Amino acid sequence: MLKKPKIIFTAVMDAHILKFIYRSVLFLAAAIIYIIGKIKGIDLFAYILENLTWLVIIVWAEFVIEMILRIFFPSSLESHGAQKHLKSKYIPSGYKMKPLLTPGSVVIVIAVIWLLGNGIFGVLYLTHTIDYGLMILLSLAYSVCDVICILFFCPFQTWGMKNKCCGTCRIYNWDYAMMFTPFLFVWHPLSAVLIGIALVLLAQWEITVYRHPERFSEMTNKALECKNCPEKLCQHKKQIQRFIKYNANINNLYDLIYSDQDITEEPDD
């Protein structure tokens, strides 16, 4: 008999789920506005920027606050993997050798692929093949994918760095810089602030990796050991995968049972 798996939630998991819902709604709303504008032949994004500035500022400020908190302030609702650059999150293990991190060559390849891929969108925008609305949608789509990587599946982890979990991810705090990469090609004071703070966060992360690599490995940082992890995000991914597999098996069993039954009714005499 198949035993239905349970999905256990932690505070960090709950925070990421709420973030996933918020960003998904934001992306879908922006996509609908963009499509309606195209159908009617008007620039609804420009209208919103001019007449609903307060709404844009709220969304903008939310991302700004997220990044500032990530740079300076540790939080119990943030993944430990995103905070391991902070001295307060470092617990020495006593291991004196230089820790083994993801090879620099792998990190460089990921960066090059990301920049080249977004460079294509940048060229399309600068040649007026696509408009700034699509660049905004691309950035919002990245914001949703960012949380998908944490909660469900991360291609960078699986196919590139091979790290065991988000807690030991070498490029965790690249997320905002990646998220706002499209804004490198779209000039606006608000977008410039977003990409500027994201680059500060990225620089802080990379400088800390160089100066304090011991904070980024479970070999030298006990806070990154599985037994000391309060969020269990990797376990949640496995729980969700088992839950999906369970439901798929139930559906297959249902189809097997009913495909073997003759449900044709015999006509009455």
Residue 198 in domain: yes
Q: pLDDT tens digits for 114-139?
A: 999 999 999 999 999 999 999 999 99
Mean pLDDT of 72-87: 87
| Average pLDDT score over residue span 46-53 | 91
Residues 51-56, mean pLDDT to the nearest whole number: 93
Inside any domain, residue 29: yes
Query: Does residue 2 form part of some domain?
Result: no
| Angle subtended by helix axes 189-211 and 53-72, to nearest 10 | 10
Residue 258 counted as domain residue: no
With CA atoms as reference, report the closest residue to 174 among 73, 103, 85. Answer: 85
- Looking at the predicted structure, is the pLDDT value of residue 229 above 60? yes
pLDDT tens sequence across 154-210: 888 888 888 888 888 999 999 999 999 999 999 899 999 999 999 999 999 999 999
What residues make up the domain containing 78?
Answer: 11-93+102-242
As a whole number of angstroms, the distance between CA 3 and CA 16 comes to 27
With a cut of 70, say whether residue 6 has pLDDT above it.
no
Instruction: Give pLDDT, residue 242.
Output: 67
Does any domain span residue 147? yes
Q: How many domains does the chain have?
A: 1
* Residue 206: inside a domain: yes
- What percentage of residues in the chain have a pLDDT greater than 90? 57
> Within a domain: residue 256?
no
Residue 120 tokens read as: 């294509």
Query: pLDDT per residue over 143-168, tens digit each?
Result: 999 999 988 888 888 888 888 888 88
**Residue 3 counted as domain residue:** no
Q: Which residues pair with 92 in a beta bridge?
A: 221
Backbone angles phi, psi at 217, to 5 degrees: -130, 140
Q: For CA atoms 242, 231, 163, 170, give the dihedral sign.
A: positive
Res 264: pLDDT: 46
